[in-house]
């Protein structure tokens, strides 16, 4: 176990979720500070808590004290050799399945808020198409089902497609998408790849709302939407915008569970 009195947690603040995380750690008795206020003179074992939206690079972690620990989302720009070079220990938030699932649920709540805010009809009168049936796709489907919406799911995995039929009105493979997509008022994309390409976008009717929940670069070829009356919202970081306190508590649990297990 990492003892509270012999350690200091340095929290990167980028959004309200991070602000709440710092407050929650302090409330639980941890010595925690905004990373911007930290100096090398702060004594104790350093635990760097990066924002869940940060993809750290070498120039970021080379500022950490050697032998320290840091939390972040999945490393894309830092190799294992670099971590060893600086004698660091890294923990990935999303290696924790509970956080990944619950965060998907918060993303779906934010999606529902955007759906209501950006449509004129009742959500129960809309025809909605969900692309992908991973964690976010499943959470989006569940919240639409709970609100008695008409929605269909498009997915590649046959087992996931079978699961989708339990709550969705329809379930399709991606091969069917060009033939059915014109029937829908709202498209919710959860696939982190550009699947809404020129061929598919040509079939989408004007006045369609696209809520893209996928990580960068998103799932929409924006270059194909010139002169089209199609609204695209690339909705990143929804838990931090719509439910920052709950999101912070989920992240805090990952951190404190890990520290208590050491």
Residue whose C-alpha is closest to residue 18's, from 255, 197, 192: 255
183 in Cβ contact with 200 (< 8 Å):
no
What domain count does the chain have? 2
How far are the Cα atoms of 3, 114, 115, 116, 204 from residue 123, in angstroms, in the given order? Answer: 50, 11, 8, 7, 19
- Asked if residue 88 and residue 119 are part of one domain, the reply reads no
Residue 241 pLDDT level (bands cut at 50, 70, 90): very high
Domain end: 39, 71, 95, which one?
Answer: 95
- Asked if residue 222 and residue 112 are part of one domain, the reply reads yes
- Asked if residue 60 and residue 151 are part of one domain, the reply reads no
Mean pLDDT on 5-14: 91
- Asked if residue 163 and residue 46 are part of one domain, the reply reads no
Q: Phi, psi at residue 251, to the nearest 5°? A: -65, -40
- Measured on CA atoms in the order 256, 25, 249, 60, is the torsion positive or negative? negative
14 in Cβ contact with 54 (< 8 Å):
yes
Residue 186 lies in a domain: yes
- Asked if residue 180 and residue 86 are part of one domain, the reply reads no
Q: Is the pLDDT of residue 37 over 70?
A: yes
Question: Where are any strands of DSSP class E within the chain?
Answer: 7-11, 32-34, 45-49, 69-72, 89-92, 127-131, 150-154, 170-172, 186-189, 209-212, 231-234
Predicted pLDDT of residue 80: 87
Residue 248 lies in a domain: no
User: What percent of the chain is predicted at pLDDT more than 70?
Assistant: 97
| Predicted TM-score (pTM) of this structure | 0.91
Q: For the domain that residue 202 is a member of, what is the CATH number?
A: 3.40.50.720
DSSP string, 175-223: GGHHHHGGG-SEEEE--SS--B-HHHHHHSPTT-EEEE-SPTT-SB-GG
Query: How many angstroms separate the CA atoms of 212 and 59, rounded?
Result: 31
Q: Is the pLDDT of residue 1 over 70?
A: no
Residue 258 lies in a domain: no
Domain end: 95, 120, 137, which one?
Answer: 95
Residue 137 lies in a domain: yes
Domain end: 95, 112, 134, which one?
Answer: 95
Residue 8 lies in a domain: yes
Residue 115 lies in a domain: yes
Q: Are strands 186-189 and 170-172 parallel, antiparallel or unpaired?
A: unpaired
Mean pLDDT on 118-147: 97
pLDDT digits (tens, 9 = 90+) for 203-236: 999 999 999 999 888 999 999 998 889 999 999 9
Structural domain span for residue 231: 101-241
Residue 6 pLDDT level (bands cut at 50, 70, 90): confident
- Asked if residue 169 and residue 183 are part of one domain, the reply reads yes
Query: How many angstroms separate the CA atoms of 30 and 43, rounded?
Result: 14
- Asked if residue 129 and residue 232 are part of one domain, the reply reads yes
- Asked if residue 84 and residue 200 are part of one domain, the reply reads no
Q: Is the pLDDT of residue 39 over 70?
A: no
- Asked if residue 160 and residue 106 are part of one domain, the reply reads yes
- Asked if residue 232 and residue 110 are part of one domain, the reply reads yes
- Asked if residue 218 and residue 162 are part of one domain, the reply reads yes
Query: How many angstroms separate the CA atoms of 214 and 90, rounded?
Result: 25
Q: Is the pLDDT of residue 109 over 70?
A: yes
């Amino acid at each position: 176990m990492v003892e509270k009195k012999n350690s200091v947690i340095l929290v990167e603040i980028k959004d309200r979720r991070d602000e709440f995380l710092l407050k929650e750690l302090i409330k639980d008795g941890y010595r925690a500070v905004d990373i911007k206020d930290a100096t090398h003179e702060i004594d104790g074992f350093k635990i760097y808590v990066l924002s869940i939206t940060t993809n750290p690079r070498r120039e970021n972690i080379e500022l950490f004290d050697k032998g320290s620990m840091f939390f972040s989302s999945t490393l894309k720009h830092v190799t294992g050799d670099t971590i060893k070079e600086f004698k660091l220990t890294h923990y990935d938030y999303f290696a924790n399945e509970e956080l990944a699932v619950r965060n998907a649920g918060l993303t779906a709540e934010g999606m529902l808020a955007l759906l209501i805010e950006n449509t004129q009809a009742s959500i129960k009168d809309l025809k909605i198409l969900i692309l992908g049936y991973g964690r976010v796709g499943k959470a989006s489907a569940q919240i639409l089902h709970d609100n008695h919406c008409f929605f269909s799911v498009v997915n590649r995995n046959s087992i996931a497609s079978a699961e989708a039929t339990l709550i969705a009105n329809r379930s399709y493979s991606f091969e069917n998408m060009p033939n059915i997509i014109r029937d829908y008022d709202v498209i919710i994309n959860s696939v982190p790849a550009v699947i809404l390409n020129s061929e598919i976008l040509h079939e989408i009717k004007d006045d369609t709302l696209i809520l893209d929940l996928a990580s960068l670069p998103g799932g929409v070829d924006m270059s194909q939407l010139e002169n089209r009356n199609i609204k695209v919202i690339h909705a990143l970081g929804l838990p931090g915008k719509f439910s920052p306190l709950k999101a912070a508590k989920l992240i805090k649990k990952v951190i404190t569970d890990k520290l208590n297990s050491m």
